[in-house]
A and B are shown apart, each in its own frame.
Chain A
Amino acid sequence: MNAHLQPSGSAYFLAAETQVPERHTLSVLVDNEPGILARIVGLFAARGYNIDSLTVSETEHEKGLSRITVVTVATPKVLTQIKLQLERLIPVHRVHDLTSEGKSLERELALIKVGGSGEPRAEALRLADAFRAQIVDATTESFVFEVTGKPSKIDSFIALMMPLGLIEVVRTGLAAISRGPEGM
């Protein structure tokens, strides 16, 4: 029926990888209890899965639920395994692959510290305006901008700030949710 030329953890696997890795965003609904993050991260580490970004926060206090958003890069077969292995963890309620389930919204927040004076400082301000970045702290020789949006937008803003005196950046990691009326 099939050639079985798939990657595998088997010690016998000799054939080369044929599937191409893809970047996917997973949303994981979990009981908010001690050690839950260690379980998730430990699973990724133990099974050799990648984590590009990870965010965790309690989302429904009364029910004690947290939502974890993980961005990972893996082949379709490994992605299926990641989802199934996550679902094996006792405190995990559901795992949604937002990327493969179609349209989803992805947002990130970054705080960006930029130093300088004179023309570069003015240029940084103009760009911040264009990106709808807020100024959340200012001194005579620095700003801290707050910028929200898709990760790609934040990437571009950071790239533009680089020559204008970028000092440091902190990013929240991704928050993602599906479009439309359905919830997890």
Chain B
Amino acid sequence: MAEQMTGAEMVIQALVDNGVEHIFGYPGGAALPIYDAMFQQDKVQHILVRHEQGATHMAEGYARSTGKVGVVLVTSGPGATNAVTGLTDALMDSIPLVCITAQVPTTLIGSDAFQECDTVGITRSCTKHNYLVKSVNDLSRVMHEAFHIANSGRPGPVLVDIPKDVQFALGTYLGIDEVGASRHKSYHPATSGDSKAIEAAVDMMLKAERPIFYTGGGIINSGPEASEKLRELAELTGFPVTSTLMGLGAFPGSNPQWMGMLGMHGTYEANMAMHDCDLMINIGARFDDRITGRIDAFSPGSTKIHVDIDPSSIGKNVRTDLAIVGDCGAVLEEMVRLWRSKTNQPRTEAIAPWWEEIKGWRARNSLGFKNSDTTIKPQYAIQRLYEATKGREVYITTEVGQHQMWAAQHFPFEMPNRWMTSGGLGTMGYGLPAAVGVQVAHPDALVIDIAGEASVQMTMQELSTAVQYRLPIKVFILNNERMGMVRQWQDLLHGGRYAHSYSESLPDFVKLAEAYGGKGIRCDDPAKLDAAIQEMLDYDGPVLFDCLVEKHENCLPMIPSGKPHNEMILPDFEDDIGAVIDEKGRQLV
């Protein structure tokens, strides 16, 4: 029902109407009317963060672990600029966010007023769409549209900038049904996918002898049903399945058809199978450069099918033979149906030689590492963490670096939405606030941030948020006293000259945890690790776990810059990784 209310009240009402229960924010002068409206209601719970970047990553963790839109509320100027990293992160990883920024009053816009910045200008290229609302009567429509755009098609962050006078102004609120079709008749993302193309894909699959499913974050975004359909299709066909970093969990890590992650730090078998396959079925992945390695040597002999909801992803990096623009879940469902109607047999016999080959690659044990009785190997720490938490409802977030890749390699997932990591942007400082966001959405679950000692210091202050809201997140720091990934690249490319990749003057993480009101645990002995992990899990509150690990471990296997998939550095190649890359490769990232 159309109702008279202030702009600030409309914001709250629109959140309620769009099913929002939690928002992550930080107040300031221009946002005060919205905060005042928030104060006078109890439908939406506001989580007060310690830095606006934290709010954006919390909203990302919340969104990724629930499939709902994550919501952020910040003030004008510095509030908005602090949110930019998280918005960019969400854009790169296709995470649905709505970010409400307050703005100086319309009459002051353009006057360099106190805490004014050109928010829509600054965020134009790091949002899926953004709005500056200049009239209160546009506000309800814009809010509903923002939620629709954020969560449909290829999801992404949408920003709504609301000047303070618009927050105070009285106007007519329209509900979701009353605003009718969105103003943007131009926006109608594809959903189902062309049925002829899907049929052609299934026909190719029926003839394939060396097929592989290359899956990505699109399956997670499509919802849990898409993961179900992938499992069904994999079972029906008997094909091997690999995934990008963003797609982990869509296919069970315990399934015999699971090949492990692919790409720069993916398994040998996944990358070799990608290189040698005759049919690549890409579902919801985007041929990112961490995946393809050297493009001109990428899977040279294969026919490529690409399913993506975003047409611009298709053919952007790699030429595909068959494009299907549509939602992964819908396309997978149709593939399952067609496969069933054409045959009821997996291609077990036809692809048996392919599986034999894969078995050979698997035997290289590319995730193997030399364990030690005296120092904790980071891979071992993750394996023990996995064993200690197996069977529980566990959500893992990460920071960015070696620990992130080790987590992806050594912590298998059985379900989608259990793994939150910053893939596209690679944002250090993502994991701790993301864990806070996940814990808000799943108060009874076990939420662990697998962290590096450098990354975690970028957003450490959000531990205070966790303490305030009694969110028992566990921050498991693989402390190598190095920016390990940077150090590894300096070995690889720069003759081991470790320019500023030490973590010097590290805080005492145990005392730091205590200072924040959480618990600190330190462990440097492999023999005591299990007990220490148990202590962490038993503690009902936030924990910083300072796990002192081997300082010079390299993250392997690795496809070095400028090399194709079939030239990986494997773990048995321990000697001089500095000799692997040639002059040209050095220029790459």
Contact = CB atoms under 8 A, between A and B. Distances in A.
Interface string A56-95: 0000000000000000000001001100110111111110
B183 interface: yes
A59 to B, nearest CB: 15
B383 interface: no
B319 to A, nearest CB: 6
A39 B186 contact: no
A90 B315 contact: no
Interface of B is mostly: loop
B184 A91 contact: yes
A2 B184 contact: no
Contacts of B319: 2, 4, 6
B310 A88 contact: yes
A159 interface: no
B310 A10 contact: no
Contact of A31 (B186, B289, B315, B318): B186
Given A1-B301, A11-B561, A87 B312 contact: yes
Contacts of A35: 120, 124, 132
Given A34-B132, A84-B311, A92-B186, A13 B121 contact: no
B311 A42 contact: no
A15 interface: yes
B298 interface: yes
A1 B184 CA distance: 40
B561 to A, nearest CB: 7
Interface size classification for chain A: 35 or more
Which range holds the interface residue count of chain B?
A: 35 or more
A3 B300 contact: yes
A12 B295 contact: yes
A74 B120 CA distance: 29
A184 to B, nearest CB: 12
A5 interface: yes
B295 A13 contact: yes
Interface string A1-41: 11111101111111100000000000000110011001100
Nearest to B134: A34
B318 to A, nearest CB: 6
B208 to A, nearest CB: 12
Contact of A91 (B125, B186, B303): B186
Contact of B295 (A1, A6, A31, A89): A6
B427 interface: no
A46 interface: yes
Given A11-B289, A90-B187, A4 B296 contact: yes
Contact of B561 (A12, A34, A92): A12
Nearest to B145: A90
Contact of B300 (A4, A39, A80, A94): A4
B186 A90 contact: yes
B317 interface: yes
Given A35-B124, A38-B124, A5 B184 contact: no
B184 A31 contact: yes
A1 B302 CA distance: 6
Nearest to B132: A34
A10 B186 contact: no
Given A35-B132, A38-B121, 6 more contacts: A4-B319, A13-B296, A80-B315, A81-B316, A85-B312, A93-B186
27 contacts: A1-B301, A3-B296, A3-B300, A4-B300, A4-B318, A6-B318, A6-B319, A8-B316, A10-B295, A12-B295, A13-B296, A14-B294, A14-B562, A14-B584, A35-B132, A42-B125, A46-B125, A77-B315, A81-B315, A87-B311, A87-B312, A88-B310, A89-B129, A90-B129, A90-B187, A91-B186, A94-B186
Interface of A: 1-6, 8-15, 30-31, 34-35, 38-39, 42-43, 46, 77, 80-81, 84-85, 87-94
